[in-house]
């Protein structure tokens, strides 16, 4: 049996942030906006006590420990997101052909990638802001899930097939995510 006190997780609610729980839906409001998530596991309970968000299980088992840690990470990211934006930085690398990138509505368009006539496109998800500054693409937003998915969409739109990656290193590559350098 897993030790019971290690299964109950507490997250301090920062100043200026409010948390509302209605049924299994947790809504977090802060200075930058509002995020909500459904806690779908019926054996996990979330409550607010004394300016703390408490996550606890109905029964103490290994599966509940995994689910509590998952919900803890999601709720912690939501609390961080409503206080400060998540920023992902990608670098445009074009060694063979000059690549042009621009934003058209909710799509990032990459033109002349490897001299291709048809432009490649990456979907920008809602509530995400994308900027192209020189050879850098900056993706920002308060929900880390949609920000990271948008960055992944941009990176994967320039994937190369049937070529040697050691020679053809063109593309848009993730350099920094949420303040941390990628690959050192």
For CATH 3.90.930.12, the residue range(s) in the chain are 4-81, 86-181
Which pLDDT value is given to residue 1?
Answer: 44
Pick the CATH number of 86-181 from 3.30.420.40, 3.30.930.10, 3.90.930.12, 3.40.140.10: 3.90.930.12
CA 80 to chain centre: 12
Say if residues 157 and 110 touch (Cβ distance below 8 Å). Answer: yes
Rounded Cα–Cα distance for residues 58 and 68 (Å): 11
State the pTM of this model.
0.86
CA distances from 97 to 92, 153, 169 (A): 12, 21, 11
Question: pLDDT digits over 87-129, tens only?
Answer: 999 998 887 788 889 999 999 999 988 888 899 999 999 999 9
Question: pLDDT digits over 29-75, tens only?
Answer: 999 999 999 988 888 889 999 899 999 888 888 888 888 999 999 99
Say if residues 141 and 128 touch (Cβ distance below 8 Å). Answer: yes
Write out the two tokens for 93. Answer: 């690398």
Say which CATH architecture domain 4-81 belongs to: Alpha-Beta Complex (3.90)
| Sign of the CA dihedral with 59 first, then 63, 65, and 68 last | negative
In the predicted model, what is the mean pLDDT of the chain?
Answer: 88
| CA proximity to 151, closest of 89, 70, 107, 68 | 89
């Amino acid at each position: 049996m897993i030790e019971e006190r290690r299964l109950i997780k507490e997250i301090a609610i920062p100043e200026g942030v409010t948390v509302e729980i209605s049924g299994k839906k947790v809504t977090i409001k802060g200075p930058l906006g509002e995020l909500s998530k459904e806690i779908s596991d019926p054996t996990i309970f979330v409550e607010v006590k004394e300016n703390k968000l408490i996550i606890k299980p109905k029964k103490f088992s290994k599966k509940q420990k995994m689910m509590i840690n998952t919900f803890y990470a999601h709720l912690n990211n939501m609390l961080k997101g409503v206080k400060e934006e998540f920023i992902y930085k990608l670098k445009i690398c074009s060694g063979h052909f000059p690549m042009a990138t621009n934003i058209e509505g909710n799509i990032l368009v990459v033109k002349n990638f490897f001299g291709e006539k048809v432009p490649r496109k990456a979907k920008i998800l809602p509530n995400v802001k994308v900027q192209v500054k020189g050879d850098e693409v900056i993706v920002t937003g308060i929900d880390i899930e949609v920000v990271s998915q948008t960055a992944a969409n941009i990176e994967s739109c320039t994937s190369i097939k049937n070529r040697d990656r050691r020679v053809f290193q063109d593309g848009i590559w993730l350099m920094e995510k949420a303040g941390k350098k990628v690959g050192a």
